[in-house]
């Protein structure tokens, strides 16, 4: 709870500083324009629908993988809540690191074993991050041409691709290579076994190690089942591509709404090409939910497209669509899921 509070406070401080900087040096923030975008324009609705569509496509990936990899029923609505919970905790932890662990917790409480849910989340990351890389590679020539005046854009692109590709390769090996995941799980078991010196903890540790062995076996079986189905991999990759695409439409809706770009396919490809490259870098930001880095990256990457007097306003519109609104929705979902879990525990105790 203490760490959670620290993340929230850090996020609020960074967000407040970022808004101040955007207002002071980013051409100012037109608050009336932001209100108009969300309450009086179709582009605001399109942005919100794109956010929902992106979540639903991601939920589709989780649903398909879980249905194939587990014998337990895990419906689409639960998959959607898994997506929202992951987004919420990703937004309040550095480098989005808290999202997947909390998704595993939610899935395990819903009856999916830790081994199966781990294999699902690993493959989900691989297919969606691979889809993002494909989009970024396809749009790279156009993005570099649009951002030729942005300093160090080639270096930033190289760093983003390197980190992303390294994680994909590692997780692919972790998913399909028995030696790799046995080694990693073996190191974890070794670390846990060190606490056997305590007579009080020894019985619990032995039971915990046995449970780990069972989860490893379930992980191995689930990963084997998921990775040998080419139709499943193609379907989930396509949904991952769609999820990323719809996420980038939120950027397009914010920019087009101010009238600096015409609503054309050419403009859409321009925005998606730049944003896919920016996302490759922003995703690995060390701040909670990429606060500060996301806004700074957006300002940097889109400065050749959006006039300076609109940059602060557009940046905040996009950030509201992709951060503040999802954060509020995620908080509501997590709050009610926590209440449901507490009621369930209370009933078990009474029984």
For the chain, what percent of residues have pLDDT higher than 70? 79
Mean pLDDT of 138-147: 84
pLDDT tens for each residue of 25-43: 556 778 888 899 998 899 9
Across the chain, mean pLDDT equals 81
Do residues 311 and 29 lie in contact, with contact meaning Cβ atoms separated by under 8 Å? no
pTM attached to this predicted model: 0.85
pLDDT at 56: 97
Q: CA 290, CA 293: separation in Å to the nearest integer? A: 5
pLDDT tens for each residue of 280-311: 776 666 555 555 566 777 777 888 888 888 88
Q: Where are the domains of the chain?
A: 2-350
Nearest CA to 300 out of 159, 150, 161 is that of 150
Q: CA 332, CA 274: separation in Å to the nearest integer? A: 32
| First and final C-alpha spacing in the chain | 29
288, β-bridge pairs: 94
Q: For residue 271, how many C-alpha atoms fall within 13 Å in the half-sphere facing its CB?
A: 25
Do residues 72 and 311 lie in contact, with contact meaning Cβ atoms separated by under 8 Å? no
pLDDT tens for each residue of 36-85: 999 889 999 999 999 999 999 999 999 999 999 888 889 999 999 999 99
């Amino acid at each position: 709870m203490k760490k959670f509070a620290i993340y929230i406070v850090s996020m609020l401080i960074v967000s407040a500083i970022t808004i101040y900087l955007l207002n002071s040096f980013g051409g100012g923030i037109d608050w009336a324009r932001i209100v108009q975008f969300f309450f009086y324009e179709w582009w605001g609705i399109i942005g919100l629908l794109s956010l929902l569509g992106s979540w639903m496509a991601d939920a589709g990936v989780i649903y398909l993988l879980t249905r194939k990899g587990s014998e337990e029923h895990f419906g689409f609505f639960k998959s959607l809540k898994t997506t929202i919970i992951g987004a919420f905790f990703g937004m309040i932890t550095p480098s989005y690191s808290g999202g997947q662990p909390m998704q595993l917790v939610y899935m395990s409480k819903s009856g999916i074993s830790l081994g199966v849910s781990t294999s699902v989340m690993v493959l989900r990351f691989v297919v969606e991050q691979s889809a993002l890389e494909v989009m970024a590679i396809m749009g790279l020539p156009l993005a570099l041409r649009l951002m030729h005046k942005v300093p160090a854009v080639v270096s930033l692109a190289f760093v983003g691709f390197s980190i992303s590709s390294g994680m994909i390769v590692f997780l692919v090996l972790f998913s399909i290579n028995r030696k790799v995941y046995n080694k990693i799980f073996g190191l974890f078991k070794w670390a846990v076994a060190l606490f056997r010196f305590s007579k009080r903890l020894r019985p619990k540790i032995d039971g915990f190690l046995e449970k780990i062995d069972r989860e490893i076996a379930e992980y191995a079986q689930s990963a084997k089942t998921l990775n040998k189905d080419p139709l499943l991999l193609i379907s989930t990759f396509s949904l991952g591509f769609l999820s990323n695409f719809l996420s980038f439409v939120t950027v397009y809706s914010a920019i087009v709404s101010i009238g600096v770009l015409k609503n054309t396919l050419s403009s859409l490809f321009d925005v998606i090409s730049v944003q896919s490259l920016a996302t490759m870098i922003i995703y690995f930001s060390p701040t909670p939910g990429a606060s500060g880095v996301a806004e700074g990256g957006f300002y940097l990457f889109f400065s050749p497209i959006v006039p300076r007097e609109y940059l602060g306003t557009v940046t905040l519109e996009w950030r509201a669509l992709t951060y503040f609104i999802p954060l509020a929705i995620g908080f509501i979902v997590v709050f009610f899921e926590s209440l449901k879990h507490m009621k369930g525990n209370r009933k078990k105790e009474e029984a």
